[in-house]
Amino acid sequence: MPGGEPVRRFVDVVLTCVTVVALCCGAWLVRSGTASHAPPQPSAAQGLGRGQSRPGPGEPVVAALAPSPPERIRIPSIRVDAPLTGLGLTPDGGLDVPPAEKDNLAGWYAAGTGPGERGTAIVAGHVDNADGPAVFYRLGAVRRGATIEVDRRDGGTAVFTVDAVEAYAARDFPDEKVYGAAARPELRVITCGGPYSRSTGYEGNVVVFAHLTGSRLRRGELSPSA
């Protein structure tokens, strides 16, 4: 959010988005059966360490990038390569979501921190839709140390390293841990997760925590951010 606005308001806005995403998911599971088609969920070994409320420093922190809208996200370990669309607010103050019918499209909160900038950037996408798996169907299979790349409009690519992957029940969603302010450039990638109910949809969310570890020109070599 713009400088000076409380983190709490940002949390409230993005939580609305996560809830809407959850309600849009699961029609495909109803038809195909959950036993063999449920998306992968992260193991405890991929989560934050015991007593760790937020990701630790991990690799050496690099300088934040100048603001530039993101255009594409790649997570090579799960074969994600998808365009990003800016998400605004709905008339009731919630965050809009990518169209459910576009299964290979993710969104970022365009009025908040952009990926690579100082602070916490938010990317969200569907896990499935009525036709089958969607962009973040395999998000729960991401492992610590994996790479996430975000192409930016300025011709550069922000490179992130995954710190942790966790699943949360909606009733226990840790607002501050996921959306709280960060002193370094961090990224959260969010989709639906947990058990699936025909009446309420997915009962939680999968969240990937990552931090900026480098940047490069679109066709250049990886180099530290400057």
Decide: residue 96, CB within 10 A, 0-12 exposed, 13-18 middle, 19+ buried. Answer: middle
Residue 196: partners with Cβ closer than 8 Å, 6 or more residues away: 26, 29, 34, 38, 202, 203
Q: How many angstroms separate the CA atoms of 219 and 217, rounded?
A: 5
Decide: residue 101, CB within 10 A, 0-12 exposed, 13-18 middle, 19+ buried. Answer: exposed
For each of the domains in the chain, give its residue range(s) and CATH number, in order of start. Answer: 7-217 (2.40.260.10)
Token pair in block for residue 89? 């607010």
Token pair in block for residue 202? 């997915």
Per-residue confidence (pLDDT) for residue 226, from 0 to 100: 43
Per-residue confidence (pLDDT) for residue 93, from 0 to 100: 64
Per-residue confidence (pLDDT) for residue 83, from 0 to 100: 98
Q: Cα–Cα distances in Å, from 41 out to 46, 141, 191? A: 10, 6, 11
CB 200 within 8 A of CB 170: no
pLDDT per residue as tens, the chain (226 positions): 333 333 334 444 454 444 444 434 555 554 555 445 789 999 988 988 765 666 665 445 789 999 999 999 999 999 999 999 998 877 876 667 888 889 999 999 999 999 999 999 999 999 998 888 999 999 999 999 999 999 999 999 999 999 999 999 888 888 888 888 888 999 999 998 888 877 778 888 999 999 999 999 876 545 544 4
Residues comprising the chain, all counted:
226
Per-residue confidence (pLDDT) for residue 223, from 0 to 100: 52
The single-letter code of the amino acid at 152 is R
Tell how strand 156-169 and strand 201-217 pair up.
Answer: antiparallel
Per-residue confidence (pLDDT) for residue 53, from 0 to 100: 61
The single-letter code of the amino acid at 46 is Q
